[in-house]
């Protein structure tokens, strides 16, 4: 038995692959094009593990993807592949349209052709799970109820608009062609291997380097925070028991303002690795001009996945953020390699000068 994971060298995808193989002997074929945030060093522990087959490639490759499906005959495809940074989407929306919309369309077409040709039992059991975001629902007022699966889509950034479009394509391929799809819309993830351009890893890394801790606007933008390993367990549960055609919101039940997140991290660092001058890390906080179209609040109502599939997060924010800060303190080499671009050199070193390890184990 095999599953195909796309985007499995990114933050959430690599955590999912590691988590899957820690609990199962089922082979993972990992397709990732290794864009700037794709980091095979996240999967270094699997380098000699035959259960993990890494292939460098694009979900939009209409030759490669069908060939992989034919060769490995996966029982499921889990699609993490996406451009995911709002700021980058504001400055360069074209890449988000191409990768998140056109790429998803081409992946769906490749998977649909594969699925249609499967024998009846395998066809009935097959699943395509699409991993999306709560940002497709738009922004909430302070007292508005949390997002449910029936909320209208109202995306406000090029990133969220591209993810909303991909969600609509997945839904349409189910209703039009019968493809057995599942969609998950998650809240803000955090945890190990998070590329340090996002809020939590950026604050940790900048604090330790003595740099400014930038906070957009007044810092009162509210998000629901989900520990990445909880997200991985939710996806496994949806893949196992979710009803084809359904959407499941995945949240951590942890609504926090950005400024409170920054102050919490500063407090943990004050305890675990105090500044040499004895001053609090919070002294490094600086408020910067808010970004265009910055959504004020996201909140996930995750009662459906708990009610129907029995899933709920194992971590509170306090336990999850403590684990996250400890991980970054204990993995400074990983951080340095990401910041310097050395993680790309690591691939070349590990694969004997082969910079594109197509169909190699990783």
CA gap 360, 97 in Å, rounded = 29
Catalytic position from the list 135, 167, 230, 315: 135
Give φ, ψ of 143 to 5 degrees: -105, 5
Which whole-number Å values give the CA distances from 197 to 3, 52, 81, 260, 282, in the listed order? 30, 28, 18, 18, 19
Q: Is 135 an annotated catalytic residue?
A: yes
Point out which residues pair with 132 in neighbouring strands: 185
Find the catalytic residue in 32, 58, 134, 301.
134
Kindly list the distances between the CA atom of residue 300 and the CA atoms of 21, 61, 135, 170, 296, in Å, as whole numbers in the listed order: 28, 34, 10, 21, 14
Q: How far apart are CA 344 and CA 79, in angstroms?
A: 23
Where do runs of H (alpha helix) occur along the chain? 11-23, 64-72, 86-91, 93-96, 103-116, 120-125, 158-177, 199-208, 228-241, 258-272, 303-309, 317-330, 332-340, 342-350
How many angstroms separate the CA atoms of 334 and 43, rounded? Answer: 12
Q: Is 306 a catalytic residue?
A: no
SS3 state of residue 290:
coil
- Phi and psi dihedrals of 302, rounded to 5? -100, 25
Query: Exactly one of 159, 193, 227, 298 is catalytic; which is it?
Result: 159
By three-state DSSP, how is residue 224 classified?
A: strand
**Would residue 61 show up in a list of annotated catalytic residues for this protein?**
no
Active site residues: 134-135, 159
């Amino acid at each position: 038995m095999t599953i195909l994971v796309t985007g499995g060298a990114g933050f959430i995808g690599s955590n999912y692959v590691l988590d899957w193989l820690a609990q199962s002997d089922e082979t993972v074929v990992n397709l990732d094009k290794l864009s700037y945030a794709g980091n095979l060093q996240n999967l270094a522990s699997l380098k000699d593990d035959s259960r993990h087959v890494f292939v460098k490639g694009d979900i939009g490759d209409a030759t490669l993807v069908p060939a992989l499906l034919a060769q490995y005959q996966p029982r499921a495809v889990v699609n993490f592949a996406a451009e995911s940074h709002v700021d980058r989407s504001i400055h360069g929306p074209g890449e988000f349209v191409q990768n998140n919309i056109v790429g998803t369309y081409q992946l769906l077409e490749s998977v649909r052709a594969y699925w249609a040709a499967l024998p009846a039992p395998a066809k009935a059991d097959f699943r395509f799970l699409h991993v999306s975001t709560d940002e497709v629902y738009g922004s909430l007022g302070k007292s508005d109820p949390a997002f449910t699966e029936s909320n209208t889509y109202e995306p406000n950034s090029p990133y969220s608009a591209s993810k909303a479009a991909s969600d609509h394509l997945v839904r349409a391929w189910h209703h039009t062609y019968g493809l057995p799809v599942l969609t998950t819309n998650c809240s803000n993830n955090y945890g190990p291997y998070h590329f340090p351009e996002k809020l939590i890893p950026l604050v940790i890394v900048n604090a330790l380097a003595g740099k400014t801790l930038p906070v957009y606007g007044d810092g009162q933008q509210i998000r629901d925070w989900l520990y990445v390993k909880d997200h991985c367990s939710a996806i496994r549960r949806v893949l196992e028991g979710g009803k084809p055609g359904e959407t499941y919101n995945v949240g951590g039940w942890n609504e926090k303002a950005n400024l409170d997140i920054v102050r919490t991290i500063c407090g943990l660092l004050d305890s675990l690795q105090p500044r040499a001058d004895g001053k609090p890390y919070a002294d490094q906080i600086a408020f910067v001009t808010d970004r265009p179209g910055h959504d004020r609040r996201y909140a996930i109502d995750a009662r459906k996945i708990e009610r129907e599939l029995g899933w709920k997060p194992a971590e509170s924010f306090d336990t999850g953020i403590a684990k996250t800060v400890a991980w970054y303190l204990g993995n400074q080499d990983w951080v340095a390699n990401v910041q310097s671009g050395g993680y790309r050199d690591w691939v070349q070193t590990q694969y004997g000068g082969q910079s594109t390890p197509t169909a190699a184990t990783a």
